[in-house]
Amino acid sequence: MAVGVLALQGSFNEHIAALRRIGVKGVEIRKAEQLENVSSLIIPGGESTTMAKLAELHNLFPALREFVKMGKPVWGTCAGLIFLANKATGQKTGGQELVGGLDCTVHRNFFGSQIQSFEAELPVPDLAATEGGPPSFRAVFIRAPAILEVGPDVEVLASISIQTTKKVDPSSSLQSQEESGECDGKVIVAVKQGNLLATAFHPELTIDSRWHSYFMKMSSNDNEIVAASSSSVYEDEERYLYNKQPKIDLPVYE
């Protein structure tokens, strides 16, 4: 069965293109009944409040919650991470509805506004062990959330270091905390819990498809088609990236 990509708003086309690169069909999901035809689901990055309003308008939240409860694999990136979290802070007045299921607390826009977007080299030992390739992943953060707390069943896959001295204040953004010197030395940006995967960054905006291949392994069993060998895919894409594509630099977060 195909992989569904929630297509209300945000980078759903980029996810579908990334799936295509590893030989997997992605289909756009806009209605609750369409979830019956997919084996797994990606909730993409975008504007989380807008996505939530559109999901509520189309009465998608009950179907999304049921999809998660059924144990089908679901991956949330950036805004999708906020959707999957059991608790979110730093939201606009009135908050937003959440799908839930992921035992964590997420801070919306933790890293600041659009102009604070950046790239960072993340150590990803579990991803590299499973998918091959280098031990780090160059992650793109755009108005990104961060995970402040996780439950005992949540596996941390990646964290980012922040040069600071004091503890995170869940009610303020990283930008305001940096100005006052008040934030933690490390925050979590990728986790896995059972059938749920979540990343605060945007793997779909890079040529490195290892996160998509990793998610496909969550969606597969011995009788299903598994994505192409990620190590060879990564090598081919790496050559394409450096030989064919112009490099677009965002600020690098050190």
Has residue 192 got a pLDDT over 90? yes
Amino acid symbol at 251? P
In a domain, 158, yes or no: yes
Average pLDDT over residues 183-194: 87
Helices (H), 22-60: 48-57
Q: Is 204 a catalytic residue?
A: yes
Has residue 32 got a pLDDT over 90? yes
Predicted local distance difference test score (pLDDT) of residue 117: 86
Predicted local distance difference test score (pLDDT) of residue 163: 55
Average pLDDT over residues 107-132: 91
Predicted local distance difference test score (pLDDT) of residue 116: 81
List, for residues 132-149, the tens digit of each pLDDT value: 999 999 999 998 999 999
Has residue 165 got a pLDDT over 80? no
Give me the number of domains the chain comprises: 1
In a domain, 31, yes or no: yes
Highest averaged pLDDT of the listed ranges 95-109, 174-188, 210-224: 95-109
The partner residues of 76 in beta bridges, in order of sequence, read: 43, 198
Average pLDDT over residues 39-55: 91
Q: Which of 14, 204, 212, 237 is catalytic?
A: 204
Average pLDDT over residues 225-241: 41
Helices (H), 24-163: 48-57, 61-69, 79-84, 125-131
The size of the chain, in residues, is: 254
- 77 vs 95: CA distance, rounded Å: 19
- Average per-residue pLDDT for the chain: 82
Average pLDDT over residues 14-43: 95
In a domain, 69, yes or no: yes
CATH number at residue 54: 3.40.50.880
In a domain, 227, yes or no: yes
Has residue 194 got a pLDDT over 70? yes
Has residue 240 got a pLDDT over 80? no
**Phi/psi at 26 (nearest 5 deg)?**
-110, 140
Give the distance, in angstroms, between the CA of residue 151 and the centroid of all CA atoms in the same chain.
18
Domain range for 227: 2-244
Highest averaged pLDDT of the listed ranges 77-86, 170-179, 180-189: 77-86
Residues 6+ apart with CB under 8 A from 13: none
Percent share of the chain, pLDDT over 90: 63
In a domain, 114, yes or no: yes
CB 228 within 8 Å of CB 23: yes
Query: What are the start-end ranges of the E strands in the chain?
Result: 2-6, 26-29, 38-43, 74-77, 85-89, 102-107, 118-123, 136-141, 146-150, 155-161, 186-193, 196-199
What band does 104 get if pLDDT is binned at 50, 70 and 90? very high
Helices (H), the chain: 12-21, 48-57, 61-69, 79-84, 125-131, 174-180, 210-219, 230-244
Average pLDDT over residues 103-114: 89
Residue whose C-alpha is closest to residue 88's, from 59, 65, 97, 76 = 97
In a domain, 64, yes or no: yes
Range of weakest confidence among 22-36, 84-98, 183-197, 208-222: 84-98
Antiparallel, parallel or unpaired: β 196-199 and 186-193: antiparallel
The partner residues of 185 in beta bridges, in order of sequence, read: none
CB 79 within 8 Å of CB 202: no
Distances in whole angstroms, Cα of residue 4 to Cα of each of 71, 117, 156, 221: 15, 27, 25, 18
Q: Which of 15, 107, 202, 212 is catalytic?
A: 202
In a domain, 140, yes or no: yes
What band does 241 get if pLDDT is binned at 50, 70 and 90? very low
What band does 92 get if pLDDT is binned at 50, 70 and 90? low
In a domain, 252, yes or no: no
What the block records as the tokens of 176 is: 């305001």
Q: Which of 78, 119, 212, 237 is catalytic?
A: 78
